[in-house]
Structure 1
Amino acid sequence: MYDTQITLTGWIGGEVTLRQVGEERHVASFRVACTPTRFRDGEWVKGTTSWHTVKVWNRLARHVADSLHSGDPVVVHGRLVADVWERDGKPQTSFEVVATSVGHDLSHGTSVFTRPVRAEDRPVEVQPAPAAVAAEPQAA
Structure 2
Amino acid sequence: MFDTHIVVVGNVLTKPEWRRTTHSNQLVANFRLASTARRYDRENRCWVDGNTLRVRVSAWRKLAENVGSSINVGDPVIVFGRLYTRDWQDEEANHRVSYEMEALAVGHDLARGRSRFYRSRPAGTSTVEDTETDTVVGGEPAEPVADGDTPVRYGDGLPELIPGDAEPAFLEVMAELAEETAAQESTPEEDTPEESPAEQSATEETPAEPVTAEIRRPRRTKKQPVAA
Report TM bin, short chain: 0.7 to 0.9
Give me the whole-angstrom Cα distance separating, in 2, the residues matched to 1:51 and 1:84: 16
Structure 1: state its 5+ residue gaps: 122-140
Q: How does 1:16-95 map to 2 (within 5 A)?
A: 16-21=16-21, 25-41=26-42, 42-85=45-88, 91-95=95-99
Structure with bigger helix share is: 2
- Identical columns (%): 37
Deviation by residue 1:89-108 (Cα, 9 ceiling, x = unmatched): 76532220111111101111
Structure 2: state its 5+ residue gaps: 126-228
Q: Which has the greater radius of gyration? A: 2
Q: How does 1:7-22 map to 2 (within 5 A)?
A: 7-21=7-21
Residue type of the alignment partner of 2:66: H
RMSD between superposed Cα atoms in Å = 2.1
Q: CA deviation at 1:83?
A: 1.2
Structure with bigger strand share is: 1
Q: TM-score if structure 2 supplies the norm length? A: 0.48
Q: TM-score if structure 1 supplies the norm length? A: 0.75
1:5 aligns with 2:8: no
Assess if the C-alpha contact under 8 Å between 2:54 and 2:99 holds in 1. no
Tell me which of the two structures has the higher relative contact order, counting C-alpha pairs closer than 8 angstroms and 6 or more residues apart.
1
> How many equivalent residue pairs?
121
1:115 aligns with 2:119: yes
Q: Which runs of 4+ in 1 moved over 3 A?
A: 85-92
Change (3 A) 1:106 1:24: same
Q: CA deviation at 1:33?
A: 1.5
Give me the whole-angstrom Cα distance separating, in 1, the residues matched to 2:123 and 2:47: 49
